[in-house]
Structure 1
């Protein structure tokens, strides 16, 4: 099971739920129906925990994110970056088996893939400040 790939999918589904106003179960089901490849490579338990957890704790996660935005409002953060931040913070807060540095590094790798270079620095800054306060 590939947690790195699954984390990437969790970010994509979190983004998809924002855009399509979907529930986690709908997003996960439509992903699985459309998935091309070996579905056994996806960590199903982790995917369900993260996507459902981010959805349930969205308001709490957004309060933390907003606290560490410098001269920004939450509404100005791109949906892609917000998805990355929510997934990373959820991991930091709720997965003791994932080291915080791993959660942050993986978030930065996902940002490099789906966002731009400025976003990588932005996400790193928010997560780093949040982590120092925890």
Structure 2
């Protein structure tokens, strides 16, 4: 994490990593302690790393088995090569996640600020209270896709951006740019492009409804 990162950027990251772990009503969320948020963030990162590494290891085993059973047939070898490539990409994703954990001491220090915790909890609370409305709006913006079929991290990034645009009146372009940066850090290789496209459609929908 770059030093002197803006407080709201840290709040978004803290909210993103905590969303799937923090439970309770919006009123209860306001009483969450900073330690709860940080522990939730660490749990999320740990789970992400383990899941990605397990998937990568499974891909390596599958590709190895395919190579051994291929009897040098070109089509089978090509398939095995694609599996190895995917496994390497997944491993790189896991390495990137590990890089994030190395930054945790600085992340925790910056997250101790009251303004950081307050905005993170405000975001989590707004998403908790208005979950149905947010998902309905995103459903309209998704083309040939369903909200509940998205990866958890993409759902949470989109929800944070929509909440900031809709309920916190953050300028649309700022919210989109911040969501794209989160996606580059936590989503897969194509995640930031997908997030950008969906949020631009959300922006257009909100403008049409306002007019």
Q: 1:37 to 1:66 in 2, by over 3 A?
A: same
Residue 140 (structure 2) aligned to one of 19, 42, 67: 67
Question: 2-side partners of 1:119 and 1:4: how far apart?
Answer: 19
- Aligned partner of 1:50 in structure 2 is 123
**Displacement of 1:15 after TM fit?**
3.0
- Aligned partner of 1:107 in structure 2 is 179
Query: Following superposition, which runs of at least 4 residues in structure 1 exceed 6 angstroms of deviation?
Result: none
Unaligned runs of 5+ in 1: none
* C-alpha contact (below 8 Å) 1:2/1:43 kept by paired residues: yes
- Aligned partner of 2:98 in structure 1 is none
Question: 1-side partners of 2:31 and 2:135: how far apart?
Answer: 21
Question: 2-side partners of 1:6 and 1:53: how far apart?
Answer: 14
Larger Rg: 2
* C-alpha contact (below 8 Å) 1:5/1:42 kept by paired residues: no
**Displacement of 1:32 after TM fit?**
4.9
Q: 1:111 to 1:61 in 2, by over 3 A?
A: same
Unaligned runs of 5+ in 2: 1-5, 41-106, 207-211
TM-score computed with the length of structure 2 as normaliser:
0.55
Q: What root-mean-square deviation, in Å, do the aligned CA atoms of Structure 1 and Structure 2 show?
A: 2.4
**Displacement of 1:28 after TM fit?**
4.2
**Displacement of 1:27 after TM fit?**
9.7
Aligned residues: 129
Aligned residue runs from structure 1 range 13-92, under 5 A? 13-17=18-22, 22-23=23-24, 25=29, 28-29=32-33, 30-32=36-38, 36-38=108-110, 39-40=112-113, 43-92=116-165
Question: 1-side partners of 2:187 and 2:163: how far apart?
Answer: 20
